[in-house]
Structure formats: C-alpha cells, structure tokens
Amino acid sequence: MMDVRRLLKEFDIQPRKSLGQNFLADQRALERIVEAAELGPGDIVLEIGPGLGTLTRCLAAGAGWVVAIELDQRLVEVLKQTLADLPNVEIIHGDILELNPADLLERQMASFQYKVVSNLPYYITSAVLRHLLTAKVRPKLMIVTVQLEVARRITAEPGDMSLLAVSVQFYGRPRIVARIKASAFYPSPQVDSAVIRIDLDGRPLVEVDDADSFFKVVRAGFAQRRKQLRNALAAELALPASEVAQALSRAGVDPKRRAQTLGIEEWAKVCNEMQSRGISQKD
Ligand code: SAM
C-alpha cells in the first residue's frame, strides 16, 4: 500500500468519505496514469485533489509545472511538507468548482495550453468535467480516473448515450485507457475504476451555431428519455410536436427515435435545424 497508510498514520488523518478520499496506493496504476498523460518538460498540469501527493510527485517528475488544488485543509498541510522538495509544484487550497482554471494557471500559461490529470473525487465527477470542459480556456488533454461505470457512460456510443456522454463528446474524444481495481486504493471503494483519456482540439468537435442552444435541446431530449424525441422535445421546449417532427426529419433523424440513440453529429444537426427555424429559443 506504498506510503498511503504510513502518511495517514503519521499525520493522524482519517480519510473523509464525503470528500471522495480514496487514495491510490498502487505503483503500477500510478505509472499507467502518468504514461497516459505523455508528459514532457513543456507541460503544465492541473491536478484536482492531490490528496497525499503520491500522483503529484509522479507528475512533477515528468512535467514542467504542476498546480494542484486540494479542498481539504488537513491534506494541504501534509502536502506542504511531503512535497516541499519539489520546486515545480504549487499547492492551492480551494474547491475546483469555485475556481477558474485560467486564473490558476495564469502565471505559467504563456501558451494557454495545459493538461488535466486527476484521480477525481467521485462525488463530483460530472460537475468537475462540465466545469473544465466549459471553461473559457480548456485543457488540451484530460487523464481522469473515475468509477468504471461512469467511464463506460462517458465513452458510450449511440444506443447508450446519456447527457453526460454528449456533454463530454461534444468537446473531446474520450476513451478508456486502463482499468484499476478497487483494491489499488486505500480505503478501497465498492467498485473498480477506469482511467479515461479525453483529447480536446480546442473547439467543439461538431459545428453548432451556439453551444447554449445545443445543450438546451440535448437536455430537453434526455429529460424524458423514455419518450420519442418528437414528444420529449415538444413537451420540454413547449413547442408544437408537428414543428419538432419536421425539424427532426430535416436533420435526417426519425422523430420516433429516443434521445439515447443519437450520436453527437445528429444532435448538432437537430439543434441547427431547430435554430435555423427559430424554434429552439422559446423558454
Ligand atoms: N490524488 C490522490 C490520489 O490519487 O491518491 C487523491 C485522490 S482522492 C480520489 C480525491 C481528492 O480530491 C481528495 O484528496 C479530496 O480531498 C479532494 N477533493 C474533494 N473535493 C474536492 C474539490 N471540490 N476540489 C478540490 N479537491 C477536492
């Protein structure tokens, strides 16, 4: 269990379940995460939740600069001591959801390019992904460890899509690069995890007139996912079903299909069709 138990004992810290504190204690798993990040001395890394600093130390060995955001003040104190020998690590006490990545990296980001590498606190996985993907300055690559079931949802294909899958796939290409057993963490969670790699190109992968309208339509579709799209969109967006059906047909999508069957390009076509006819803007 590497240093995890020793450090917890030494600093008299009880892991907090409410903060998603399952510390990675397996050398091979750490190596796989770091390998996936393909770090070089020119890289700036944002780590969310450094915990006891085990992953942070590996990241600092490969990257030029690491900024690590930790919410738990007890752990910030530990990190300041255990990582004191690393000149290229900055520890910030705070809640990632309250912070803007561009502000955090300001001092280092001449090129405005950064990578996110994190073993995410599972209770805010979706919120953190949304926060980073919709930030003004998005990362170019994300390597995030999440619960296996969530990893499968994020990387789903048409037939099994969800709002989370569309939200991530709108901005980047996610794929599972490693599976990590629950026993690799201390304390061990109930379920296995997976490492996902999300490559971002800087702009959304599909052309839409406006991302807010795109997500308004997608959210409406998934709000009533058992219903046919024509009815779900009409009900949620307060539009006549006939108009919605026409827009769907023009986009090449059968109005009887359900939200989970649409791929990202199809959503973009639906959204653009609805917008071009001025029918997605009503509240
Ligand atoms: N990186 C460490 C590792 O791999 O062993 C710890 C990962 S642990 C799953 C998640 C970490 O995120 C914990 O240290 C927890 O305190 C921290 N955390 C929880 N909520 C946070 C938030 N909103 N902002 C920043 N850090 C948070």
3-state secondary structure the chain: CCCHHHHHHHCCCCCCHHHCCCEECCHHHHHHHHHHHCCCCCCEEEEECCCCCHHHHHHHHHCCEEEEEECCHHHHHHHHHHCCCCCCEEEEECCHHHCCHHHHHCCCCCCCCCEEEEECCHHHHHHHHHHHHCCCCCCCEEEEEEEHHHHHHHCCCCCCCCHHHHHHHHHEEEEEEEEECHHHEECCCCCCEEEEEEEECCCCCCCCCCHHHHHHHHHHHHHCCCCCHHHHHHHHHCCCHHHHHHHHHHCCCCCCCCHHHCCHHHHHHHHHHHHHCCCCCCC
Q: Residue 8: its pLDDT value, please?
A: 96
Q: Does pLDDT of 282 surpass 70?
A: no
Binding site membership of 174 for ligand 1 (Cβ less than 6 Å): no
* Whether residue 53 has its Cβ less than 6 Å from ligand 1: no
**Confidence check: pLDDT of 44 > 80:** yes
Q: Which range is least confidently modeled, 66-80, 102-116, 199-213, 231-245?
A: 102-116
Any ligand 1 atom below 6 A from CB of 195: no
* pLDDT for the residue numbered 229: 97
Distance CA 187, CA 195 (A): 18
pLDDT of res. 111: 62
Closest residue to atom 1 of ligand 1, CA basis? 50
pLDDT for residue 109 is more than 80: no
Which part of the chain is CATH 3.40.50.150? 4-200
169 lines ligand 1 (CB under 6 A): no
Ligand 1 pocket, mutate which of 3, 14, 17, 19 (most atoms under 8 A from CB): 19
Per CATH, domain 4-200 is 3.65.10.10: no
Tokens 């060995």 sit at which residue? 61
pTM of the full structure: 0.94
- Least confident among 74-83, 104-113, 122-131, 211-220: 104-113
Mean pLDDT score of the chain, rounded to an integer?
93
247 vs 86: CA distance, rounded Å: 57
Kindly report which listed range (135-139, 201-205, 261-265) carries the lowest average pLDDT score.
201-205
Ligand 1 touching residue 168 (CB < 6 A): no
CA of 202 to the centre of ligand 1 (A): 26
Closest residue by Cα to atom 10, ligand 1, is: 121
CA contacts within 13 A on the Cβ side of 239: 28
Residue 201's pLDDT is 80
The rounded Å distance from CA 49 to ligand 1 centre is 3
**Is any ligand 1 atom within 6 A of the Cβ of residue 55?**
yes
Confidence at 136, pLDDT banded by 50, 70, 90: confident
Q: Which of 5, 7, 17, 21 to mutate to test the pocket of ligand 1 (most atoms within 8 A of CB)?
A: 21
Q: What is the structure's pLDDT at 52?
A: 97
50 confidence band (pLDDT: 50, 70, 90): very high
Q: What is the CATH number of domain 211-276?
A: 1.10.8.100
Please compute the mean of the pLDDT values over residues 127-136 and round it to a whole number: 94
Residues of the chain with CATH 1.10.8.100: 211-276
> Averaged over 257-282, what is the pLDDT?
87
Give yes or no for residue 2 CB within 6 A of ligand 1: no
Contact by Cβ (8 Å): 45, 116? yes
How many angstroms does the Cα of residue 74 sit away from the middle of ligand 1?
12
* Centroid of ligand 1 to alpha carbon of 242 (angstroms): 48
When pLDDT is cut at 50, 70 and 90, the band that residue 281 belongs to is low
